[in-house]
Amino acid sequence: MEQYLPVLTLGILGVLFVLLSIVASRLLAPERPTLAKRSPYECGITDQVAIPERFPVKFYLVAMLFIMFDIEIIFLYPWAVANDELGLFGLVAMTIFAGIFFLSFVYELAKGGLNWGPGRRLLTPATSPERTTNSTIRKVGLEGRLDLDVGANDPEEA
C-alpha cells in the first residue's frame, strides 16, 4: 500500500487544486453580464437571424466520406506495420478493403456529392454562339435608375 501513497497524494492535490481554482475564480472574478456575453457564439459568427434552411444532405455525405477515410487510415496503419507477417493474404484482404472504400468514393463523385458549394451548377463553361458580351452583361447606366414620373430627374429636360 505504501507504494501507492505518492499516487494517492498527487491525486488528492490535483482535486484540491481544481476545487480551489474554481472557488477562487467565483469569488474574485467580476460579474458584468451583458447581452453580448449571454448570446450564443459559434465560429466567430454572432446569431442575428434564424437559419432559413437546413444543411443539404450532400454536406453530411461529405462528412461521412471523411469518416470513412479516417477509418481506412486506422486499418491501413496496423496492416503496414504487420505486412511481413500477413504476407499475400494480408495484401489481398487490404486491397479488397481499400477497393470497397474507393468504389464508395467514386460513387459519391458520380452522384455529385462533392459539388455542394457555391458554383456547383457551373462545372463546365457554358458557351454558345448566341451568347455575346452584349447579350449577357448588363450595361451600367442611367436606364432604370431614374424616376420617369418626376421630370426633374430626366436628363433630357435638365
pLDDT value at position 52? 65
**Tens-place pLDDT, residues 6-20:** 999 999 999 999 999
Are the C-beta atoms of 114 and 57 separated by less than 8 Å?
Answer: no
Strand partners, 42: 45
Question: Which sequence spans correspond to the domains of the chain?
Answer: 52-115
pLDDT value at position 158? 47
Three-class secondary structure of residue 108 per DSSP: helix
- Please say whether the dihedral angle defined by the alpha carbons of residues 123, 129, 131 and 133, taken in this order, is positive or negative: positive
Are the C-beta atoms of 79 and 97 separated by less than 8 Å?
Answer: no
CA-angle at 23, arms to 18 and 27, nearest 5°: 150
Are the C-beta atoms of 8 and 15 separated by less than 8 Å?
Answer: no
pLDDT value at position 122? 47
**Tens-place pLDDT, residues 12-55:** 999 999 999 999 999 998 888 887 777 766 666 655 666 666 66
pLDDT value at position 115? 73
Reading the block at residue 75, the C-alpha cell is: 486499418
Question: Which residue type, as a one-letter code, is found at position 21?
Answer: S
CATH class entry, domain 52-115: mainly alpha
